[in-house]
């Protein structure tokens, strides 16, 4: 282990330095993406971050809800634990986010709860881990997120007062502006999909990727469900540009499938690479929490 590594439990690194492991308060900056995806609150410290998400009926379609709809919640609620160690006046960008889904997303109208903590930090970034549970305490997803610190200050944005997150008659995908583009989808990077850094929110990119791949998988292997998503964030999708989400199905069988979704911005450069595993759900006699 190098002399720039920091362990949050306060253990001494190889160079003999002892780093401050005092929990840092999280800073929750709600914006249009959090409002749209039902993120109600994020509180706590780097040692324990708690969040709550309302399951908005507008996230649900005739086929259910895309698990990628939890991306904004995971990125915001659990990632905040790692972001708490950002430099003074700075912020952090997500570089990798993994979600393993353990149980179905409950019906609309209830809540999901997130609990996260910083698992490791170093000079230029940190890793957070956590779980998302339903109202009964059952684990819906296990999350791991890596962030890279930045000296750029976040840009807080005012939320619309007294206005519904989604206009009547529109579903979540329509409100985001997701639209068909050949074999994939595309999205304009405008409100309500912009993060405090001024680019496409990483959780929105996760949702769009899951929607694009889900459409491709459903047409060839009905009944498969999202089991795992791993997103690698390579570069931002700048505000004002259009981002495309193109799907490559790497494998498809009777009980599983694997898809890779690449998002590219207007200049053709890749923004995100999302690998999604699909499994056929089995009825379990015991639902594990």
pLDDT digits (tens, 9 = 90+) for 227-283: 999 999 999 999 999 999 999 999 999 899 999 999 999 999 999 999 999 998 754
Quick check: is 94 in a domain?
yes
> Which of 67-71, 146-150, 219-223 is predicted with the least confidence, judged by mean pLDDT?
219-223
Looking at the predicted structure, is the pLDDT value of residue 14 above 90?
no
Q: Kindly state whether residue 180 falls inside one of the protein's structural domains.
A: yes
* Cross-strand bridge partners of residue 41: 52
Helix H, strand E, coil C: the string for 98-118 is: EEEECCCCCCCCCEEEEEEEE
Residue-level pLDDT at 11 = 37
Count of the separate structural domains present in the chain: 1
Q: How confident is the model at residue 161 (pLDDT cuts 50, 70, 90)?
A: low
Query: What is the distance between the terminal CA atoms of the chain, rounded to a whole angstrom?
Result: 34
The pLDDT, as a whole number, for residue 165 is: 45
Percent of the chain at pLDDT > 70 equals 85
Q: Is 8 within a domain? A: no
Q: Is residue 263 part of a domain?
A: yes
Give a yes or no: residue 62 inside a domain. yes
Domain with 125 in it: 32-153+170-280
What does pLDDT average to over the chain?
86
* Residue 81 within any structural domain of the chain: yes
Q: Residue 77 has what pLDDT?
A: 96
Stretch 167-185: mean pLDDT: 82
pLDDT tens track for 21-51: 689 999 998 999 999 999 999 999 999 999 9
Residue 117's pLDDT band (boundaries 50, 70, 90)?
Answer: very high
Q: What is the pLDDT of residue 182?
A: 83
Distance, CA of 243 to CA of 25 (rounded, Å): 34
Domain contains 250 = yes
Is residue 11 included in any domain, yes or no?
no
Q: Which residue has the higher pLDDT, 11 or 103?
A: 103
CATH of the domain at 72: 3.10.129.10
pLDDT of residue 159: 60
Which residues are within 8 A (CB) of 114 and not within 5 positions of it... i.e. 6 or more apart? 42, 49, 50, 51, 52, 53, 73, 74, 77, 78, 130, 131, 132, 133, 143
């Amino acid at each position: 282990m190098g002399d720039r590594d920091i362990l949050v439990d306060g253990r001494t690194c190889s160079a003999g330095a002892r780093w401050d492991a005092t929990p840092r308060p999280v800073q929750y900056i709600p914006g249009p993406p959090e409002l749209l995806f039902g993120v109600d609150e994020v509180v706590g410290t780097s040692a324990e971050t708690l969040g709550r998400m309302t399951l908005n009926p507008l996230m649900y379609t005739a086929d259910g809800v895309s698990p990628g709809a939890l991306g904004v919640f995971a990125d915001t609620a659990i990632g905040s634990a790692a972001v708490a160690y950002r430099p003074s006046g700075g912020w952090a960008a997500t570089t990798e986010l993994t979600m393993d889904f353990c149980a179905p997303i409950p019906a609309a109208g209830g809540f999901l709860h997130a609990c996260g903590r910083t698992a490791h930090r170093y000079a230029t970034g940190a890793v957070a881990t956590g779980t998302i549970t339903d109202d009964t305490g059952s684990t819906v997803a296990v999350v791991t997120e890596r962030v890279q610190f930045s000296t750029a200050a976040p840009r807080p944005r005012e939320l619309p007062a007294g206005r519904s997150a989604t206009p009547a008659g529109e579903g979540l995908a329509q409100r985001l502006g997701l639209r068909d583009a050949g074999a994939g989808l595309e999205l304009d990077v405008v409100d309500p999909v912009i993060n405090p850094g001024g680019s496409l929110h990483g959780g929105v990119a996760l949702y769009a990727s899951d929607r694009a791949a889900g459409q491709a998988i459903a047409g060839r292997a009905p009944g498969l469900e999202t089991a795992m998503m791993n997103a690698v964030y390579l570069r931002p999708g700048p505000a004002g540009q259009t981002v495309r989400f193109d799907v490559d199905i790497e494998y498809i069988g009777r009980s599983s499938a694997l898809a890779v979704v690449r998002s590219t911005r207007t200049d053709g450069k890749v923004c995100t690479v999302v690998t999604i595993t699909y499994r056929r759900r089995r009825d379990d006699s015991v639902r594990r929490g």
